[in-house]
Structure 1
Amino acid sequence: MAAKTDYKFQGWAGDAPDSIEGKLKWIDYEPKEFAEDDVDIKILYCGICASDISTLSEGWMPMKDNWPQVVGHEIVGEIVRVGSNVKNGLKVGDVAGVGAQCDSCLKCKYCDDHKENYCHGGMTQTYNDKFHRTSPGSKSWGGYANYWRGPSHFVFAIPSQVDPAQAAPLLCGGATVYSPLKQYGAGVTAKEVGIIGIGGLGHFAVLFAKALGARVTAISHSDHKKEDAIKLGAEDFLITGENVPDAIKGRERSLDLLLCTSNAPDMPMDAYLSLLKPGGNFVLVGVPETGKLPDISPFTIIMNNVHIGGSAIGSPDTIREMLDLVAEKNIQPWISKYPLSKVNEAVPAMVAGKARYRFVLVNEENGGKM
C-alpha cells in the first residue's frame, strides 16, 4: 500500500447535467493508488475545455454511474511527488502539465510507435474514465481541483519561456489542432490552410498554422471575429453567411488543407469540400453532439479527389514538440482567467459562449497567479 500524503484530493464536481448552470460542488475524493511511475501535481491552472461542458451536460452520452465527476484536462501545476520509476526526467518542484489523455497500455504497436493517443487497448482519459494498466478500475479525476495524480508518461515539463497559465489550454485545445496541422503538412506541403470556426480550437489553429509557415484563411459565418482572426495571423477571412455555396463562389479549389473546428450539426460539407484542391484534406476535430456528420455527396469526394479525416488530441511526443514551438515562436494564446473558487461563474460563461478564446481557472490557494 502506497504511503498516504499530507494533502487531500478535493475538487469541484458535477453530480447531474444541470451542474453546468453553476451547480458544481466541492468534494473530497480518493485518487488512484500511487504507482511508482506516477507523479502528483499541485494544480495551479486548469483550462475549461468544451469537452468538459459536453461531459457534464451529458451532451455526448449519459454519465450513468460516473457521477460525481471532476472534469478538467488542461492541467498545469507544480510536481510535489515523484515515483521511483519515473523515467522522463520530471522532479519535485518542476512546473508540468497533463492533457486529455493520462494513460495507455504502453506496449501495443501504436504505443511503441509514439501514437499513444491511438492505443489499441484504448486511452485512459484524464477524467470520466477508469485506469487499466495500474490500479485497475480506479476512477480518473480531472483538474478543477487542488491536486492531480497519474502516470508520468503523460506529464510534460512546461518550458520556462511559456506562461504556465497560457500553457494549460495548449495541452488539449492546442494539441488537438497542432497534431493534424503537422500531420497534413501545414506550411510544407499544405501551403494554403483554411480554418473553419474561430473559437477556442480555431484560434489555436490560426496561431499554429501561421507559425508553421502556412498562409491562413479563417472561415466564419459572420464578420464578428474578422478583426481577431487577422490579429491572430490569418491573411484572409471568408464570411460564409447563410448561403455557403454562394459565399465561396470564386474560391473553389483554393486550399490544400481544411481544418474544421466547428461542432455544428448542419455543416454544408459539400460546399466546404469544394474549397479544396484535388488531393486536399478536410480534417475534423470538432465533435457535433449529435454524433453524426451532415450528408455528403460521393461525387464531391470522387470528382475532386478530396479526402475526409479526423484527428484525436495529440501524442506525448507531439505535445512536447508543440510546447517547444510555442517557446521558440513566442506564441501567445488568448486567455481569460477566473479564480477556481468562481468556477460556478466561469462554467456558465463558457456555456454562454463568452470565452475569447479560452478560460483558465486559477488555483490561488496553491499559488496560481491571476
Structure 2
Amino acid sequence: MERRRVIGWAARDSSGLLSPYSFTLRETGPEDVVFKVLYCGMDHTDLHQMRNEIHMTNYPLVPGHEVVGEVVELGSEVRKFRVKDNVGVGCIVGSCGECLSCKSNIEQYCNNIILTYNGTYKDGRSTQGGFSSLMVVDQKFVVRIPEKLAPEQAAPLLCAGVTAYSPLKQFKGSKKALNAGILGLGGVGHLGVLIAKAMGHHVTVISSSDKKRVEALEHLGADAFLVSTNAAEMERAANSLDYILDTVPAVHPLQSYLPLLKVEGQLILVGVAPQPLHFSSVDLILGKKMISGSFIGSMEETQEILEFWAEKGLTSMVEVVKMNYVNKAFERMERNDVRYRFVLDVAGSNLE
C-alpha cells in the first residue's frame, strides 16, 4: 500500500521545542490499524524524551503516547475493529511476542518492546507518536474506547491511568479496608486518587505543601491530606498506610515516606525520576516494607481501565488545548500549572 505523508509536531534538539514536521508512515500491513488522531494526552515523559533526559533521543522526535483516534483503514487480517471505531494507543506499539512476558500478557516488560515514539520498528524505521495527524499501529497494541467514554476523557487513561491502575489492581476486591497513600497530585496522581477511591480504599493524598488540599479533598474526594514538610503531621501519620503510590517524576527523598507504611506496606514507584533515588535499608528491614516499581500496564489492563472508567462513571480532569499552544502547555506542566492533564485537540488543530 502507498505510504502516507503526515504532519506532526516534532522536537529537533534537546531544547525540546516543538514545531511542524512532515514525515511518512510505514506501509500498512495485514495486522495494522490506520487511524486519524483525534486527541493526545501530554505526559512528563514526553518532556524528558524531548530534552534527551532519558532513553537516548533520536531527533526529529514526534512525542505523544496517550493517543485516541478514529479508524480510517484496516489491514486484511484485522477483525476486532471497524472503520469509524474510536480506538486508543498507549506507550508501546510492538514486542517480540515470544518471550515469557509476552506469553504471560505482560508484554510491557518484554526486553524488545517498541515504544510508540523514539522507538525502532523491526525494519529500522523510527516510531513517531500521537502529536500527528495519522498513525498506523499493529492491532495487538490498539484498544477499543468504550462508546460512553468521551475521547478526550479516554486519552489520559492510556498511559497515566493504566500506570496507576496496573499496580493498584492487586488490591482490587480486597476483603479488608485499605489505607492508601497517593504521593504527588499531578496527571498520574489525580487518576490514582480516583481509582483507589473507586476501589473502596481510604485515600490520603501526600503533597509537599498545603496548596492542593482543597482540590484533593473537595474536587477529587480524597479522605485525608498530608503535608510531607510538616514534621508533626508526618509523625502522627506514621505506620498508617497499607501502600503508597509514588507518582512523583522528580528526585525526592524516599526515607521521608517509608515511615508512613504499616508493617509489610508497599511503596510503589511509577514516576520516572531522571536521577537515582535514595533510602535507608533500615527503613525497609524494620517493618518488612517493600519498594517496588511498575511500568505502565499490559494491553489487557489498558482495556480494563477504560472499561472500569466507563463502568464507574469517572471523570478525568483535563484541560484541552490546540497544538499551537503545546510549547506553552509544556512550560506550564513543568510548573505544575495544570489540573491535572493537558490533552491536545489534534484533529481540531491546524498542524501546518
Query: TM-score scaled to structure 1, two decimals?
Result: 0.90
Say if 2:121 is the partner of 1:131. yes
1:222 paired residue among 209, 227, 231: 209
1:308-323 mapped onto 2 (5 Å cutoff):
308-323=291-306
1:287-306 mapped onto 2 (5 Å cutoff):
287-290=272-275, 292-294=276-278, 296-306=279-289
Residue 192 (structure 2) aligns with: 205
Q: How far has the Cα of 1:365 moved from its partner?
A: 4.3
| C-alpha distance after superposition, 1:248-307 (max 9, x if no partner) | 11222111111100123132x2231111111111100011111x112x222211111101
1:66-215 mapped onto 2 (5 Å cutoff):
66-87=58-79, 89-119=80-110, 121-132=111-122, 136-185=123-172, 188=175, 191-215=178-202
Say if 2:2 is the partner of 1:4. yes
1:272 paired residue among 243, 247, 257: 257
Residue 325 (structure 1) aligns with: 308
1:17 paired residue among 14, 28, 49: 14
Q: How far has the Cα of 1:344 moved from its partner?
A: 3.1
> Would you say the 8 A contact 1:197–1:220 is kept in 2?
yes
Change over 3 Å in CA distance of 1:192–1:148 after alignment to 2: same
Partner SS state of residue 142, structure 1: coil
Return the alpha-carbon distance in structure 2 between the equivalents of residues 353 and 176 of structure 1: 19
Partner SS state of residue 61, structure 2: coil
Aligned-pair Cα RMSD in Å: 1.8
Return the alpha-carbon distance in structure 1 between the equivalents of residues 137 and 8 of structure 2: 16
Partner SS state of residue 257, structure 2: helix
1:347-362 mapped onto 2 (5 Å cutoff):
347-362=330-345
Identity %: 38
Return the alpha-carbon distance in structure 2 between the equivalents of residues 213 and 279 of structure 1: 20
Structure 1 gap segments, 5+ residues each: none
Return the alpha-carbon distance in structure 1 between the equivalents of residues 161 and 175 of structure 2: 20
> Would you say the 8 A contact 1:184–1:190 is kept in 2?
no
Which stretch has the larger CA shift, 95-104 or 344-353?
344-353
Partner SS state of residue 39, structure 1: strand
Q: How far has the Cα of 1:200 moved from its partner?
A: 1.1
Return the alpha-carbon distance in structure 1 between the equivalents of residues 182 and 343 of structure 2: 23
> Would you say the 8 A contact 1:97–1:157 is kept in 2?
yes
Write the letter of the residue equivalent to 1:271: S
Residue 29 (structure 1) aligns with: 23
Regions of 4+ moved over 4 Å: 184-190
Say if 2:282 is the partner of 1:282. no
Change over 3 Å in CA distance of 1:152–1:61 after alignment to 2: closer
Return the alpha-carbon distance in structure 2 between the equivalents of residues 93 and 68 of structure 1: 30
Partner SS state of residue 245, structure 2: strand
| C-alpha distance after superposition, 1:113-147 (max 9, x if no partner) | 1111111x321110001023xxx212111011100
